[in-house]
Amino acid sequence: MTDDPTLELPDDQGNGASTDDDGRVPPPIPPGDPDAWYAPDVRDHYTVHGDVVATVAETDDGFTYDVREPSLTEGEEAILDEIREHFAAANLRRPRTREGTVSRMETGLRPKYRAALDGLLDGSPETRRRLRYYSLRDVGCLGAVTPLALDERVEVADPGDDQLSVHTTDFAPAETAFPADVQFLDRVDSF
One domain, residues 29 and 49: no
List, in order, residues 6 or more apart from 168 with CB less than 8 Å away: 44, 56, 65, 151, 153, 154, 155, 174
pLDDT at 191: 44
One domain, residues 35 and 15: yes
One domain, residues 129 and 171: yes
One domain, residues 11 and 56: no
Name the pTM for this structure. Answer: 0.78
pLDDT at 127: 95
One domain, residues 24 and 76: no
Which range has highest mean pLDDT (28-32, 41-45, 144-148, 157-161)?
Answer: 144-148
30 close to 36: Cβ distance less than 8 angstroms: yes
Output the domain CATH number for residue 178: 3.30.450.380
Mean pLDDT throughout 13-40?
62
One domain, residues 93 and 142: yes
One domain, residues 156 and 114: yes
Q: pLDDT of 124-157, one tens digit each?
A: 999 999 999 999 999 999 999 999 999 999 999 9
pLDDT at 36 over 70: no
One domain, residues 68 and 132: yes
One domain, residues 7 and 82: no
| Average of per-residue pLDDT values in the chain | 86
3-state secondary structure the chain: CCCCCCCCCCCECCCCCECCCCCCCCCCCCCCCCCCCCCCCEEEEEEEECCEEEEEEEECCEEEEEEECCCCCHHHHHHHHHHHHHHCCCCCCCCCCHHHHHHHHHHCCCHHHHHHHHHHCCCCHHHHHHHHHHHHHHHHCCHHHHHHHHCCCEEEEEECCCEEEEEECCCCCEEEEEECCCCCHHHHCCC
One domain, residues 36 and 74: no
One domain, residues 7 and 66: no
Q: pLDDT of 82-131, one tens digit each?
A: 999 999 988 889 999 999 999 999 999 999 999 999 999 988 999 999 99
Note the Cα 132 to chain centre separation in Å.
15
Instruction: Establish whether the linkage from the previous residue to 173 is cis, with ω within 30° of 0.
Output: yes
Number of structural domains, the chain?
2
Q: Predicted confidence band at 67 (pLDDT cuts at 50, 70, 90)?
A: very high
One domain, residues 18 and 80: no
53 close to 46: Cβ distance less than 8 angstroms: yes
Domain range for 5 = 1-40
